[in-house]
Amino acid sequence: MKKIHIIGLGLLGGSFALGLKKKRPDLILSGHDNNPDHVAQAKELGLITLHKERPDPDTDVVVLATPVDTLSDLVQQTLDGTGSKTLVMDFGSTKAEVCNKTAQHPKRQNYLAVHPIAGTEHSGPKAAFEQLLDGKVLIICEMEKTDVHLKAMAYELFEILNMKLRFMDPLEHDLHLAFVSHLSHATSFMLGRTVLEKMKDEKNIFDMAGSGFASTVRLSKSSPAMWAPIFLENKKNLIEAMDAYIHHMKQFRDKISTDDYTGLYKEMEEANKIREILDLEKRD
Amino acid sequence: MKKIHIIGLGLLGGSFALGLKKKRPDLILSGHDNNPDHVAQAKELGLITLHKERPDPDTDVVVLATPVDTLSDLVQQTLDGTGSKTLVMDFGSTKAEVCNKTAQHPKRQNYLAVHPIAGTEHSGPKAAFEQLLDGKVLIICEMEKTDVHLKAMAYELFEILNMKLRFMDPLEHDLHLAFVSHLSHATSFMLGRTVLEKMKDEKNIFDMAGSGFASTVRLSKSSPAMWAPIFLENKKNLIEAMDAYIHHMKQFRDKISTDDYTGLYKEMEEANKIREILDLEKRD
């Protein structure tokens, strides 16, 4: 393995590059981004050594880290433009659409569908950092459809980056991610929106916001260009999650409205169980 | 100033004690908690030196850090039981009710209504730590109603703890806190509730949750015994906040449902403005 090409030089693509470069300075990292500023920044920050619009024919691995609505076409174009020894993988946050659209491609075995569970509320090449992927979970979908030798190359990269592999069906992936990731982005965006609307004339009020508000509203700073496509691509599952959530919010509101202390207490006791589960994760 | 008495030895009362003790080891800190385990822990952890059910007659400052629904009565009882040189202050997260109920008390000038903007999702004496209040905002309501000499003693304590004082009307306090604190607790509790309900049979799914979910759901671990009274006491304002929030969530849901990319993008761009405001705070 010698040549890696990364398309999309933002937080995720850039952090992937930095993490690899640290452990394997011998690898040749090239890449491209549709935004010329991002290309310039990526070179300046050393995310890539070479800017190339397309991967060389002898590239070992092409990584696609662009917004999810671009990925289905980009996976197919990249498979069309590279040889039989090149592995193409995408880092998208939804997996059903891209797996489905790529299913019939003659070079399906050259494609690996993955999703690194890592990110921050920041975006762009400047947001990238070496440790983003370190110790994080990486979900792989339909691993049985990828050529075993090409897959071994991908596993080597994930091993270098110290990632924990998990295997999952793409439909199951999208359903679960709607609940444990996409929903919390929606709730946070709308928390930010609601509070800003109310406080628009008195911004000094945020002085009164503590670390709890900062934590809950953090994802409200996330990139619309990244998240609008995710929300739309995972529409069916996300709407199920949002409807369940809005229902719970309404019930909680009504319990407050009717002074139902016991009911509120029980709801919060149920919600407290998240503590055991998240603390369990920490031990992993 | 020599004797401080703290009623309610949880996260806030306990951290207040630890912060003071560090800077002013000469102060005598006594206290009480209705939970005998908390009293034992508070003594063991050194939050207080002496356990006393009631403050001595010559106590300088009595701090009340119990759930908000207990505070109106407790402020009045404490004022009744202490002398004219004792300052009584409460740390409650709602201020209108306690200020209103205390307004006619013959010793109103011995009372100071404050709210330290500090906390974590943990509770009880074991959650207390020395730096909790360091550098944090403290809101003071109706400061003009408190005796100037007693108030000077309180300001000395807040100075010792390195807190930033802000002054605000109690009604205004409760309205703003509904938006910048109580609402985010409600949204976080219901996020935890919704996701746990969906995932009840497959807890390994939380493996797929990243730091974004952890951040947004963090407040869902908060104490129901603390939060049920806050939600009910600030009912009117919180319902206004929740209704506005539920409205935004529904609109966002409908934009997803109708594939309104531009509409979603604009909503998120609006929400992104929280970045400027929260970053502004950091410079304070």
Mean pLDDT along residues B147-162: 97
Mean pLDDT along residues B223-249: 97
In B, which residues are within 8 Å of A268 by CB distance? 189, 222, 224, 227-228
The answer for B 237-276 residues in CB contact with A (under 8 A) is 238-239, 241-246, 248-250, 252-253, 256-257, 259, 261, 264-265, 267-275
Distance from CA of A185 to the nearest CA of B (A): 8
> Backbone phi, then psi, for B164, in 5-degree steps?
-100, 120
Distance from CA of B12 to the nearest CA of A (A): 14
Task: Say what the pLDDT of residue A207 is.
Answer: 78
Contact A190 B120 (CB under 8 A): no
A10–chain B Cβ distance below 8 A for any pair? no
Give the pairing of strands B87-90 and B111-116: parallel
In B, which residues are within 8 Å of A192 by CB distance? 271-274
Residue A49 per-residue DSSP state: S
Give the pairing of strands A137-141 and A28-32: unpaired
Distance from CA of B124 to the nearest CA of A (A): 15
Q: What is the ipTM of this complex?
A: 0.92
- Percent above pLDDT 90 for chain B: 91
Q: With H, G, I as helix, E, B as strand and everything else as coil, classify residue A188.
A: helix
Specify whether the CB–CB gap between A64 and A91 falls below 8 A: yes
- Percent above pLDDT 70 for chain B: 98
Taking residue B182's Cβ as centre, other Cβ atoms within 10 Å add up to 27
Name the residue among B179, B212, B268 with its Cβ closest to that of A199: B179
Contact B281 A220 (CB under 8 A): no
> B97: alpha, beta or left, given left = phi > 0 and alpha = psi -120 to 50?
alpha
A215–chain B Cβ distance below 8 A for any pair? yes
Class of domain A173-283: mainly alpha
**Range of lowest pLDDT (A34-38, A48-52, A190-194, A277-281):** A277-281
User: Which of the four pLDDT bands, split at 50, 70 and 90, describes residue B280?
Assistant: low
Specify whether the CB–CB gap between B182 and B241 falls below 8 A: yes
Residue type, B96: A
CATH match for B172-282 among 3.40.50.1000, 1.10.3660.10, 1.10.3720.10, 2.30.110.10: 1.10.3660.10
In B, which residues are within 8 Å of A208 by CB distance? 117, 137, 139, 166, 173, 176-177, 180-181
Task: Say what the pLDDT of residue B71 is.
Answer: 97
In A, which residues are within 8 Å of B94 by CB distance? none
B227–chain A Cβ distance below 8 A for any pair? yes
Residue A22 has pLDDT above 50, yes or no: yes
Residue B284 has pLDDT above 50, yes or no: no
Token digits for B198? 């969906």
Task: Say what the pLDDT of residue B197 is.
Answer: 94
Taking residue A118's Cβ as centre, other Cβ atoms within 10 Å add up to 23
Q: Which residue of B has its CA nearest to A281?
A: B207
In A, which residues are within 8 Å of B220 by CB distance? 271-272, 274
> Can you give the residue ranges of every domain in chain A?
3-168, 173-283
A216–chain B Cβ distance below 8 A for any pair? yes
Name the residue among B179, B205, B214 with its Cβ closest to that of A278: B214
Task: Say what the pLDDT of residue A163 is.
Answer: 97
CATH 3.40.50.720 for domain B3-168, yes or no, is yes
Residue-wise pLDDT for A199-228, tens only, equals 887 767 777 888 899 999 999 999 999 999
Mean pLDDT along residues A256-266: 98
Mean pLDDT of chain B: 95
Helix axes B183-198, B224-233, angle to 10 degrees: 130
Token digits for A203? 């911004």
Q: With H, G, I as helix, E, B as strand and everything else as coil, classify residue B270.
A: helix
User: SS3 sequence, A102-147?
Assistant: HCCCCCHHHEEEEEECCCCCCCCHHHCCCCCCCCCEEEEECHHHCC
Residue-wise pLDDT for B51-105, tens only, equals 999 999 999 999 999 999 999 999 999 999 999 999 999 999 999 999 999 999 9
Distance from CA of B117 to the nearest CA of A (A): 6
Distance from CA of A164 to the nearest CA of B (A): 10
* Among candidate residues B238, B260, B104, the one with its CA nearest the CA of residue A255: B238
B180–chain A Cβ distance below 8 A for any pair? yes
Specify whether the CB–CB gap between A255 and A263 falls below 8 A: yes
Task: Say what the pLDDT of residue B208 is.
Answer: 80
User: Which of the four pLDDT bands, split at 50, 70 and 90, describes residue A111?
Assistant: very high
Task: Say what the pLDDT of residue A284 is.
Answer: 36
A213–chain B Cβ distance below 8 A for any pair? yes
Residue B282 has pLDDT above 80, yes or no: no
Task: Say what the pLDDT of residue B283 is.
Answer: 40
* Angle made by CA atoms B132, B233, A189, in degrees to the nearest 5: 65
Task: Say what the pLDDT of residue B199 is.
Answer: 87
Name the residue among B185, B268, B271 with its Cβ closest to that of A212: B185
Q: With H, G, I as helix, E, B as strand and everything else as coil, classify residue A32.
A: strand
Mean pLDDT of chain A: 95
Contact A186 B249 (CB under 8 A): yes
Q: Which residue of A has its CA nearest to B176?
A: A205
- Beta bridge partners of residue B116, listed in sequence order: B138
Helix axes A235-257, A224-233, angle to 10 degrees: 100
In A, which residues are within 8 Å of B187 by CB distance? 187, 191, 216, 249
